[in-house]
Structure 1
């Protein structure tokens, strides 16, 4: 579905919800253990008599318990390892009125440092007919855990969907009994439908609407390549390559509570395609570029594409959270879609070897002339006309 901008001489009543809330997953962090297990066992093979509360399973699945003497380290005390043909399932039911987007986030890890060094661990996450494979990356996190996000779809009260997480066979050559993927800390966040605010023709230009952050995690959330912005975990933005979704609690965010950090890739970035109004032909794109205060030192190059034009912006980062505001003026062809893309090619690493890059935030698109307009759920409303009608009434 494409957003087409048309000025309409009518009153458009728009109820747009951009709040978010946590939906309910039973035992999302596996801290409620299976019944009748040896609580001192660090690795426990599940059987039909020892299923995990809230979850069903098939294939080979282990329940893991972290301890001071074990090589496995969990952010909480427990996690699940999916072995050969291993999969876990849970049915979610909509509890909120209205229609909500649901975004899953979860931790993916290797069992120990040896597996992490030569890991091909991967899981397939599926909901209804939507699925995505997540591979444990390298140099993307400061510990063995990496947090990922997945768009589950939209539903409301009374709807039910089945969430399944399955192991993907490893080709690492290691003993398959030890280096299968480990998962933990599942969270489902529900987001309202996209909302446009006066003064910005882009929805979610501040990146506040995305997956849920863990309060005890300082690694952000990795968003993998997703060309379709309608099923992207970052609402209304396509994802190019891999980017990191960061929060203001653990990173330097130029504005608000969230931003995106572009990592190395070919390329790494975000994109939105818009059909811009025929009444305006000149536009101004404003954005903030900075660093995340994550010891990322180096020369950043951010490419900004507006239609067929490409601009580049450079900054020398000392890794301490600096930021600056930039603008691009461009003209659009009203007969075709205009691509707005931010991306980076160069590879930069923090002092600990973790991939990092330029931070992008507060992206604003405005027409340079014409009536003041505001966009509400894809429909442009002439503010002056609305005010006039209100006065008449």
Structure 2
């Protein structure tokens, strides 16, 4: 009976957390009013040429290009350019995670401006970076925060001011916004003392993307788009449809550039002085990433480097590290020290998946939540 209740519980949670369209005209394919946007050109938006669903301030261009991820229309945020839209939260205690496409606004520019993405209590700066994608655009993600049902969420995207000649600045182009909701409390893997150890709870992948989603540095577990994991440097959230993933539908590829990059989390319900086994999968994404991977793993005060010779074809191994808990929550981190690139000069790196922490010599008991108990009672009543 318990297994059936757990399965029903999981299905209900998954269905509640499915991606939804919260904003109007998220891909900018509904053109400005009183305009003809079919040609390969750009159009200045103003009070006469308004964009359906969006409020526009400053210099904002409606652009058309065949290099965009969807059918060809996007927004360029030029000097002091800003767009925003307010939508209502649906459901209580949900995180709203945004994925969007970022395209460079020109060639041979002396400076490249970024875009500031913000919600009511969050903001981050994103900029297009060469060697992070083989495509002419990149997918990024940002956690807008969490709210209760009906609360207004104001999504703002604006160009970042640069100290240079504005005539030679590449202003950012934005396209294909997708918002995903995830519950504040994540479903725990059976026996695992880590939340989201398989990285299944993260941002959505854009429909036409084959490059994964880049996640920049986020010091907070709560504010991260990769639920319950903070990020140092940059990592790539990859899907099993386009990459090699050891288990499930998603994993993390750690991209080390001029300095190491890492992901960090913490255990739950460990007992001080008890010994635990940290296991994980280390491999490559089947993205032609060849090289010598060196990944530093730390669990509390225990630390060890693990190495893997990658041939770039989806190889991988399972590794483990035994540690002794020094307190109720033990810090866990994975750091890549390897700077590796594909033959197309795209940054790549080791893939981490299937991260589990179990008591040494046995499996942990999962404490039932009040919601799980409620479903159990309903199931018994139904019988």
TM-score (norm: length of structure 2) = 0.88
The aligned runs of 1:296-311 (5 Å cut-off) are: 296-311=289-304
Say if 1:252 and 1:277 are closer, same or farther in 2 by CA, change over 3 A: closer
Q: Decide which of 76, 79, 87 is 1:81's aligned counterpart.
A: 76
Aligned-pair distance for 1:328?
0.8
Structure with larger RCO (C-alpha < 8 A, sep 6+): 1
Query: Over residues 296-336 of structure 1, what are the superposed CA-to-partner deviations in whole Å (9 max), with x where a residue is unaligned?
Result: 111111110111221111111111011111111111113x6
Gap runs ≥5 in structure 1: 1-13, 68-72
Say if 1:41 and 1:248 are closer, same or farther in 2 by CA, change over 3 A: closer
Paired position in structure 1 for 2:59:
60
Paired position in structure 1 for 2:45:
46
CA distance in 2, matches of 1:28, 1:55: 9
User: 2:121·2:144 contact (CA, 8 Å) conserved in 1?
Assistant: no
Say if 1:371 and 1:84 are closer, same or farther in 2 by CA, change over 3 A: closer
Gap runs ≥5 in structure 2: 1-7
CA distance in 2, matches of 1:371, 1:84: 57
CA distance in 2, matches of 1:307, 1:279: 11
Paired position in structure 1 for 2:89:
94
CA distance in 1, matches of 2:344, 2:40: 34
Say if 1:145 and 1:371 are closer, same or farther in 2 by CA, change over 3 A: closer
Q: Decide which of 24, 27, 46 is 1:26's aligned counterpart.
A: 24
Paired position in structure 2 for 1:207:
199
Paired position in structure 1 for 2:316:
323
Aligned-pair distance for 1:109?
1.3
Paired position in structure 2 for 1:252:
244
User: 1:197·1:375 contact (CA, 8 Å) conserved in 2?
Assistant: no
Query: Over residues 198-220 of structure 1, what are the superposed CA-to-partner deviations in whole Å (9 max), with x where a residue is unaligned?
Result: 22011110000000001211111
Quote the RMSD (CA, aligned, Å). 2.5
Say if 1:174 and 1:345 are closer, same or farther in 2 by CA, change over 3 A: farther
Say if 1:229 and 1:372 are closer, same or farther in 2 by CA, change over 3 A: closer
Say if 1:203 and 1:249 are closer, same or farther in 2 by CA, change over 3 A: same
Q: Decide which of 166, 177, 182 is 1:191's aligned counterpart.
A: 182
Aligned-pair distance for 1:278?
2.6
Query: Over residues 249-272 of structure 1, what are the superposed CA-to-partner deviations in whole Å (9 max), with x where a residue is unaligned?
Result: 111111111000000143212101
Aligned residues, how many?
Answer: 360
TM-score (norm: length of structure 1) = 0.86
Residues 14-23 or 48-57, more deviating: 14-23
Structure 1 counterpart SS, 2:26: coil
User: 2:106·2:171 contact (CA, 8 Å) conserved in 1?
Assistant: no
